[in-house]
Amino acid sequence: MDSFNSALGKNITFVRPAYFIIQGFIGIPNIKYYYVFLCFVYIVSVLGNTLVMAVIYLDHNLRTPKYIAVFNLAFVDLLGSSALVPKLLDIFLFNHPYISYNDCFAYFFFCYTFLSMQVLNLVALSYDRLIAIMHPLHYHVKVTHRFMLSLIASFWVFLIIAVLVAIGLLTRLSFCRSVVINSYFCDHGQMFRMACNDYTPSYVLAMFITVLAIWFPLIFIVLSYLCIGYALSKVATAQERYKAFKTCTAHISLVAINFIPILITYTMMEKIHPNARILNISLTSIFPSMLNPIIYVLQTQEIKASVKKLLKVRFESKMKVKKVIIK
């Protein structure tokens, strides 16, 4: 411990606080209406993602590599919103801003892992659409169940390791400057900047994760759609181009919902009020989880057909039970 304290510098002792104080959304007028809105978003997110997962699980026709990725996206959306929103409401709506040292790191782990996985999952769906349109004859050879499961598993392993390393670096920091986190959850950037010893490793890791979990997926998706656009330009008829492009509309909508708010926030970081930034980032974290299942149910013919078929089967089974009871 003496050697570690000396590494912190003279007259600085290692400080591990008993708790942190999360104070995002301070001074925003009528903020309680926003919490009511968050409750609505969370309920719709849970119901919508549960529906998508149930439909994919029950309909054997949807057990394809593409819908493995869609199932994982719904699963991550459900876990991500469940990790973030209930605790957020407990902190601000019920005025419990204090969170213990260990609980803060647990909160950090689940929020960052699930929210980052939402973005990386879009890469898997983008690759699926790229191969389906660029190499339709080889699609079932290149995009197999094993490949998609391996790709998604590799994303999970990467994120879990990266977030655990980030937590390990945070535990080596001395929080003697402040314990007040100016965000709506245990935000990595806000936390390491509160330290009074050198936080360069945490800063470098944050930049590394940002590049691999945000900018790399965005660049890959943009390049994949440029390739798709080029491939579609070679298709003979406009009807064929429209039919092929229509299979991408759900994915394009998800990409827009996830990335546009992030880009706006990071490009205008210095120009917007801190409260507006916190609200925007919180919506970016929560809103896609609600909209993703809605988009897939409304824009994907296979899921719509499956939902109708399952509802029809259930309705017919109820009618048969009523007839048996009447007899």
pTM of the model: 0.85
CA–CA–CA angle 180, 185, 191 (5° rounding): 50
**Environment class of 244 (CB within 10 Å of its CB; exposed 0-12, middle 13-18, buried 19+):** middle
Tokens matching residue 41: 């978003």
How confident is the model over 141-180, as pLDDT tens digits? 999 999 999 999 999 999 999 999 999 999 999 988 888 9
* Whether pLDDT at 255 is above 80: yes
* Closest alpha carbon to 193 in 208, 177, 207: 177
How confident is the model over 200-214, as pLDDT tens digits? 999 999 999 888 888
Task: Give the separation between CA 316 and CA 327, rounded to whole angstroms.
Answer: 17
Task: Give the separation between CA 45 and CA 286, rounded to whole angstroms.
Answer: 9
* Whether pLDDT at 94 is above 90: no
CA–CA–CA angle 21, 115, 99 (5° rounding): 15
pLDDT band (50, 70, 90) for residue 76 = very high
What domains, with CATH codes, occur in the chain? 17-326 (1.20.1070.10)
| pLDDT value of position 10 | 47
Cα Rg, the chain, nearest whole Å: 23
Higher pLDDT, 298 or 227: 227
